């Protein structure tokens, strides 16, 4: 059995032979983190971006196959323009850096959401990032940008309806419907983590989370680190996943 000792002495041991294949994270708490320190909310987003780098690297080192993060929701456009602009600027900077290091890190990146409304420069970076990473077979990071779970389901239904009109007369099944989701071909998340003390999905992976395990923590996202991720995985490994069956 592969055991990885968590840096938190009270958390126990992480079994690397029983890792979740797919971890999803709602990266929440940047604004509150900044407010507690008398800083602008944009400062929290900048620190949160560094937290994402650390957590993604740790997932890769552990051997997690998929990491999906909620970077910007369809509802986040309602925030002040300077905050939205700062988030987009941070994303653009991150993608520039990711492109430079992709060959070394072998990280595959995909984007969930309607990116058509983003700036031309950002859309070009996203397209280049996906094109370069298509040749890699390492950990896959799915970044949800302008993403909403409900809008994803509506989009999938519309795509299926168009195919139906075009002559696809086959029965609509869950398996067929999933082919129209942004996450097509990717296993559903085994573990969904939400830091910041909130206890809701906030329109994140509504379809895919049907049988996910949830882990909530009061730690704000900028303070989330490798130890906190270990703690979440160890808690996940203590659970008995039954998928509606009796054992």
Catalytic residue among 15, 17, 28, 105: 28
Alpha carbon of residue 69 to chain centroid: 2
Residue 73 is classified by DSSP as E
Burial of 223 (0-12, 13-18, 19+ CB in 10 A): middle
DSSP-assigned states of every residue in 177-211: HHTTSTTTTSPPPSEEEE-TT--S-SSSSTTTTTT
Active site residue 114: no
| CA distance linking residue 91 with residue 145, whole number of Å | 10
Closest CA to 198 of 181, 220, 179, 177: 220
Please say whether the beta carbons of 197 and 32 come within 8 A.
no
Q: Which of 8, 15, 30, 76 is catalytic?
A: 76
Closest CA to 45 of 35, 56, 37, 34: 34
* Residue matched to tokens 């097509």: 184
Per DSSP, the chain holds a count of helices (H) and strands (E) of 7, 8
- 30 is a catalytic site residue: no
159-175 as b/e, with b when 16 or more CB fall inside 10 Å? ebeeeeeeeeeeeeeee
**Residues designated catalytic:** 28, 76
């Amino acid at each position: 059995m592969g055991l990885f000792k968590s840096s938190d002495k009270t958390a126990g041991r992480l079994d690397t032979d029983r890792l979740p294949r797919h971890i999803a994270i709602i990266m929440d708490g940047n604004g509150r983190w900044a407010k507690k320190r008398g800083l602008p909310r944009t400062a929290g987003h900048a620190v949160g971006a560094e937290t994402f780098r650390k957590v993604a690297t740790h997932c890769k080192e552990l051997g997690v196959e998929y990491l999906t993060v909620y970077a910007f929701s369809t509802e986040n456009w309602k925030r002040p323009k300077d905050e939205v602009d700062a988030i987009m600027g941070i994303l653009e900077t991150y993608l520039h850096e990711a492109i430079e290091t992709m060959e070394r890190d072998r990280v595959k990146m995909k984007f969930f959401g309607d990116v058509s409304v983003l700036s031309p420069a950002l859309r070009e970076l996203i397209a280049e990032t996906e094109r370069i990473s298509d040749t890699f077979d390492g950990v896959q990071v799915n970044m949800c940008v302008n993403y909403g779970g409900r809008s994803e389901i509506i989009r999938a239904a519309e795509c299926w309806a168009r195919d139906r009109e075009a002559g696809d007369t086959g029965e609509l099944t869950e398996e067929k419907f999933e082919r129209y989701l942004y996450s097509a071909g990717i296993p559903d998340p085994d573990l969904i983590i939400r830091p910041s003390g909130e206890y809701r999905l906030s329109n994140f992976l509504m379809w895919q989370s049907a049988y996910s395990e949830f882990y909530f923590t009061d730690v704000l996202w900028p303070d989330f680190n490798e130890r906190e991720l270990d703690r979440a995985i160890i808690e996940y490994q203590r659970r008995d996943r039954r998928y509606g069956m009796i054992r």
